[in-house]
A and B are shown apart, each in its own frame.
Chain A
């Protein structure tokens, strides 16, 4: 066998292997499972930049109650959205923050605690297809053992904020 044939076959094998890995990766999704008061929610790991515990919240006036103020992350202010107030009308007492990785805003979710990071098969993720009013904060659910946990919709929450703050 000529060397060029060998190289071609190795290259093909590598490509096939990488493609298979990518397909396998696509069949799984990662979520951060967070406590929101006494409930659990899943937040897609792809939108989370970092998890921060116990930093002070700086109050800001005029805004809806679910916007608790700002936190300082690396010298930049991030808006804190309390998911307890948003979902259950009850303020979160703990100080666990999920800092989001957004291209056009600086936003962090305040949650009660962080339970775990899970990787689940795509077949266990169930999107919400009907856009009911109560479901605008959730984009679907994920099966964890025998439980179904709602997946937080970052877009839905940002849409709510824009509406409340009088922005398009």
Chain B
């Protein structure tokens, strides 16, 4: 999770690497340390062409990466819906994270859910599809802003951790795990009920 808590100070002038991308005119950044690989023009398997009870929100493809299949979560599709954004360009970027990003509390739940539906895929990783201009960018902590106090807790519980102003525009700081978690765990809750 992005370190914007004033109780947890960072040295003045220090920078952090972020993955940045845009969808339409809106920018998003996520901490680089969550991810261990990025792939452009990836090869993938369309899940609509496969059989079995695999349907999950925002998961329509399996990514072919280093001779294994990785479940791909369409983060760009979720953000387009949430922020009412137009479809980005056709060239897509996928970034791959370990399931440790879900924290101890939810890692096993997500692992179990993916394993039950995508047992032939890597069980310790999840790919996130993002906007086409994805890049790693060093950003000074001093450029990042906490959200106003009245909305901070509410939005951080939904994956929006802060923001940065760039010229006339704005970038939201995202926690991809928190954003994706409801989609990844709702089938588990349905099964339990």
Task: Give bound CA distance, A166 to B150, whole Å.
Answer: 11
A130 contacts partner chain B, Cβ-Cβ < 8 Å: no
Which residue of chain B has the shortest Cβ distance to A57 in the bound complex? B170
User: Which A residues between 70 and 118 are near B, CB-CB below 8 angstroms?
Assistant: 70, 72, 75-79, 104-107
B-side interface residues, number (CB < 8 Å): 19
Known pairs A62-B158, A72-B170; A77 contacts B163 (CB<8 A)? yes
* Cross-chain contact A166 with B154 (CB below 8 angstroms): yes
Task: Give bound CA distance, A2 to B163, whole Å.
Answer: 68
* Cross-chain contact B84 with A59 (CB below 8 angstroms): yes
User: Which B residues between 103 and 150 are near A, CB-CB below 8 angstroms?
Assistant: 145, 147-150
A34 contacts partner chain B, Cβ-Cβ < 8 Å: no
Known pairs A70-B170, A72-B165, A75-B165; A62 contacts B154 (CB<8 A)? yes
Which residue of chain A has the shortest Cβ distance to B150 in the bound complex? A105
Known pairs A60-B160, A62-B158, A77-B163; A104 contacts B149 (CB<8 A)? yes
A107 → chain B closest CB, angstroms: 7
Which residue of chain A has the shortest Cβ distance to B167 in the bound complex? A72
Task: Give bound CA distance, A30 to B93, whole Å.
Answer: 55
A67 contacts partner chain B, Cβ-Cβ < 8 Å: yes
Task: Give bound CA distance, A56 to B170, whole Å.
Answer: 10
Task: Give bound CA distance, A58 to B163, whole Å.
Answer: 11
Point out the residues of chain A lying under 8 angstroms from B150, CB to CB. Answer: 79, 105, 107, 158, 161-162, 165, 167
Interface residues of chain B, those whose CB is within 8 Å of chain A, are: 82-84, 145, 147-151, 153-155, 158, 160, 163, 165, 168, 170, 172
Q: List 25 A-B contacts (CB under 8 A).
A: A56-B168, A59-B83, A60-B151, A60-B155, A61-B82, A61-B83, A61-B158, A61-B160, A62-B154, A62-B155, A63-B151, A75-B165, A76-B145, A77-B165, A77-B170, A79-B150, A79-B151, A105-B149, A162-B150, A165-B150, A165-B151, A165-B153, A167-B150, A167-B153, A167-B154
Interface residues of chain A, those whose CB is within 8 Å of chain B, are: 56, 58-63, 67, 70, 72, 75-79, 104-107, 158, 161-162, 165-167
